Structure 1
Amino acid sequence: MLIGDKCVVSIDYTLKDDDGTVIDQSEAGQPLAYLHGFGNIIPGLEQELVGKVAGDSFQVSVNPEDAYGEHQEQLIQKVPLATFPDPDNLQAGMRFTAQTEQGDIPVVIADIQDDEVTVDANHPLAGLTLHFEGKVVDVRDATEEELQHGHAH
């Protein structure tokens, strides 16, 4: 079966950055399963997989605009330390959800200096070219329930 919209696809993959450092990978014997055509994986990888079948290998480099977007400086802000409910226990690298006028946004604490905290709402992989290699393990038709829910079960 060819990969296309409304298929559940299972892939084994390794994701590396430009330096060849492994960022993520599927666990042995536990391929990533997703519903194709529903935005469950980054667009650049999803497009590369169209038309492949179980057993096919893939290798693709995905530019930021087809992955998590460019790094945006306007998504980095300094906020008063007093804004946080437990300021004594904050550390760089901590993640939390900020409530904004646009809704909830995931952010990471980038830095803490005196009475200011720098938060970054960019995706951790924003601005990076992502290098995927892997193999298509399985392709099947999605069930009606998966189509209704918009993800693989």
Structure 2
Amino acid sequence: METDPVNARILTELQRDATIPLDELGTRVGLSRNACWRRVKQMEDAGIIRGRVALLDPNKIGLGLTVFIQIRTNSHTPDWLERFVKATRELPEILGAYRMTGDLDYLVHARVRDVAAYDALYQRLIRRVDMSDCSASFVMEEIKETTALPV
């Protein structure tokens, strides 16, 4: 599905506030309520809009430490990858896991309460998957983090 300028404006508005009433959304993008609803529905059906969520302040719910975990493995088998995927999807502290190019095999993004909570996450992760090297970097200052994609 093509993202024309009107759809791009709809997506931009929804990324700012997914709770916006259709009447207001239509007004902001220059469409009637029904035309706007049809476009939103089409983008949902096409998978462009994957869901609508509430964004939480991690500090206010006790998850003040952002961690990036760098993982290297000597095993590049389908079985290892399946265990790794399962582990990362089952550990709620892990927000993202990425297979990388270059020297690093995987990068994991996690949110935890503190260093002790990171250590507990680390212990649970290494019990599930073998790694040749695992190191972590703790975020000292969050300069920019957004969920909004440029459309």
Same fold, TM exceeding 0.5? no
Q: Which structure features the higher share of helix residues? A: 2
From the CA coordinates, give the structure whose radius of gyration is larger: 2
TM-score, with length taken from structure 2: 0.29
TM-score, with length taken from structure 1: 0.29
